[in-house]
Amino acid sequence: MPTRVIVYIRVSTEKQADHGVSLDAQRAKAEAYAALYDLVIVEVIVDAGESAKTLDRPGLQRALAMLKAKEAEALLVVKLDRLTRSVVNLGELIEEYFGEGGASLLSVSEQIDTRSAAGRLVLNILTSVSSWERETIGERTSVAMQHKAAQGEYTGGQAPWGFRLAADGEHVEPVPEEQAAIEFARQLRAQGATLRGVARELESRGIRSRTGRPFAPVQIKRMVSRSEADQVQSA
């Protein structure tokens, strides 16, 4: 029996949707693929001007509901990124809709057909490779950010207490009065004062956090540790 499929096509911007070329091209490729492999198209569902960052798209949700209702046996896309660009979201779709006992997933460009064991293997490999690439990029980014921080370069977010963003927007520079408070806190700790005791002493001198509230012990700990680390680095 021919497999009943739902064709899902998507473009990410309103401009692409208005122009229609990409949508027409996707439809043509899907129809040619269906004719070649004896697939029966139940419906062509379009998400025009919808981002792949989320699965909460009207067209996609309708297609998935139809698969759940057994109105078709498979979902056909021209390319996997039309379905999703997220490894996490792809994993969710496979687990909930395209896993064992579920619907099949077919992709023209990647030649994926999960009706067969080989097709399921290819999809799993692609998912694993995508996950590996994402983790690798994350590791590289983390190393780069650590290097920038070690060089005193700005890595985003709010500069830690005792520092401020420099005029070049790429580095942080010390705030003299805050650095003096940090040095005072470090000295108190060296004399045996507790974190809470240091916080009370700073409060008595009118030294507070940027929110205007007294320092919490955990903030004092970070403050003193950062001061000691800076001293080691500059030694």
Q: Of 116, 134, 152, which marks where a domain is finished?
A: 134
The encoded tokens of residue 43 equal 């419906």
> Alpha-carbon distance 65 to 123, whole Å?
22
How confident is the model over 197-206, as pLDDT tens digits? 999 999 999 9
Instruction: Report H helices in 37-163.
Output: 58-68, 80-83, 87-93, 117-150
With a CB cutoff of 8 Å and minimum separation 6, the contacts of 127 are: 87, 90, 91, 94
12 is catalytic: yes
pLDDT in tens, 151-204: 555 556 677 788 887 777 667 788 899 999 999 999 999 999 999 999 999 999
Residue 53's domain is classified under what CATH number? 3.40.50.1390
The type of residue at 114 is: T
pTM: 0.55
Residue in this structure with the two tokens 């379009």, named with its chain if needed: 46
**Which residue of the set 12, 22, 104, 107 is catalytic?**
12
Overall domain count for the chain: 2
- Residue 156 domain-assigned? no
Task: Output the six-digit token pair for 9.
Answer: 């096509």
Are 222 and 126 found together in one domain?
no
Residue 151 lies in a domain: no
The tens digit of pLDDT for each residue in 84-118 reads: 888 778 888 888 898 888 899 999 998 899 998 88
Domain of residue 168, residue span: 163-234
Q: Please report, as a single letter, which amino acid is at residue 167.
A: A
d(CA 189, CA 193): 5
